[in-house]
Amino acid sequence: MAALAAPPFAAFGQNPPTAPTLGKVTVAGWSKPISEITNLLVEPEKGFFKAQGVELAYLPGAGGGDAIRNLLSGQADVAFTDPGSFFMALDKGEKLVAIYDIYPRNVFNVVSLKSANITRPADLKGKKIGVYSLSSGTRQNLLVMLHQAGLKESDVSIVVTGLLNFAPLLQGQVDATAATDTGLVVGQRKGIGEVNVMPVSDYLNVSSDLFVVRESVYREKKELLKAFLKGYRDSAAWMIAQPDEAATLAGKYAIDGTNRDINLEVIRLRNASSLSAGGVGSLGAFDLDALQKGADAFRALGLITRQIKVSDVVDTSLLPAR
């Protein structure tokens, strides 16, 4: 089904035709150019966005909050960010709109070595826990998990360990680490040994990442944004249909793409998280009920103070037709 849903040029490995240029779109990412976003990185070779008349640029970041800051500063047109960072910006009065659900599934977890005997959120009390950055989804999803056990951020010690944060876990610098499913796979392939994994989705299965824009850009650049989303959906459909090709190209374009087998495993995980219950044909579609639960949870956590009505800050009119 995935292969059938992919655009014809993706299915046959051909470059798409070029459309007249509508303009440039700079995406503020939460990460450096890593293998899980291979579908964005291969634009020079595959031309998914160029086919829609879009010149694509990628601005690396260190967490979803970083992506939002780069968006608000005007350095980017679109933020590739997590819902928590989106909610917190809205809480501060920023005028933002979510236009595409990149990963409808929660991919975050908290990992510890078996020897630490951390098997439930309550066991995290008094522990040192690694996060990618203080503005990352790893921290915000960790707080969601702590909340389930009646714990606050002050009940643990949060340590910034960077993206490849399993080395500090192995070295005993932290007792547990907040990560993503792909981060865990890389850690396991590099020999972290037996671990306990607590998926945040067991407590709050909210989207992991969204495309977010400023209201002003949304109003002024609808056609450009619509073309950007079409290019992105085609690129995502290609990676779902052609994971082996994507894993090979990750070795060329991703800074962490040196091991093709790991690339393939990471790409397959990210492909799975891209799919909603509707399958490939509904790439980008929002589950507003789940996203509302996320906003309500962040308010209950005290991470935001305002009541956010998700339907007021999500717009689906730019999504490509199925």
Question: Does residue 87 sit in the same domain as residue 147?
Answer: no
Q: Is 233 within a domain? A: yes
Burial class (CB in 10 A: 0-12, 13-18, 19+), 65: buried
Structural domain that includes position 172? 108-202
Q: Is 320 within a domain? A: no
In sign, the C-alpha dihedral spanning 123, 128, 129, 133 is positive
Question: Does residue 47 sit in the same domain as residue 174?
Answer: no
Our count of domains for the chain comes to 2
Q: Is 318 within a domain? A: no
Q: What is the DSSP string of 127-170?
A: -EEEES-TTSHHHHHHHHHHHHTT--GGGSEEEE--SSTHHHHH
Taking only the tens place, the pLDDT of each residue in 17-43 is 666 789 999 999 999 999 999 999 999
Q: Which of 140, 169, 202 is the last residue of a domain?
A: 202
Taking only the tens place, the pLDDT of each residue in 50-105 is 999 999 999 999 999 999 999 999 999 999 999 999 999 999 999 999 999 999 99
Of the listed ranges 49-63, 119-133, 178-192, the one predicted with least confidence? 178-192
Work out the angle between the directed axes of helices 260-274 and 243-253 (0-180°, nearest 10): 120
Is the pTM for the entire model greater than 0.85? yes
Question: Does residue 173 sit in the same domain as residue 29?
Answer: no
Of the chain, the percentage scoring pLDDT greater than 90 comes to 77
Question: Does residue 255 sit in the same domain as residue 298?
Answer: yes
Question: Does residue 216 sit in the same domain as residue 74?
Answer: yes
- Residue 167's pLDDT band (cuts 50, 70, 90): confident
Q: Which of 182, 202, 222 is the last residue of a domain?
A: 202
In sign, the C-alpha dihedral spanning 267, 200, 114, 154 is positive
Question: Does residue 271 sit in the same domain as residue 173?
Answer: no
Question: Does residue 26 sit in the same domain as residue 168?
Answer: no
Q: What is the CATH classification number for the domain harbouring 116?
A: 3.40.190.10
